[in-house]
A and B are shown apart, each in its own frame.
Chain A
Amino acid sequence: MHEMSLMSEIIKIVSEDARLHGFSKVDSIVVIVGDLSNVLPDALELAFFHFRKQGLGMLDENTEFEIIREVAKAKCQTCLFEFTPDYRMALCPKCMLPNCLLVSGETFRVESYEGSDEL
Chain B
Amino acid sequence: MNRRALISRIVFSVCAALLGVAFALPLIWFVFAPFNAHADLDLALPAPPTLANFARVFANGAAVGALLNSLLQAFGTVLLVATTATLAAYALARATLRGKRVIEYVLLLFSSVVSGSAAMVPIFLIVNALGLIDTQLAVILVFAGGLLPTAMFILRDFIASIPRGYEESALVAGASPWRAFVDVVVPVLRPGVTIAAVWAFVQVWGGFLIPFVLLRSEQRMPASVEIYSFYSQAGTPIVPLLAAYSVLYSLPVIALYWYVNRKYGFRFFGGIKS
- Report if A and B associate in a common complex: no
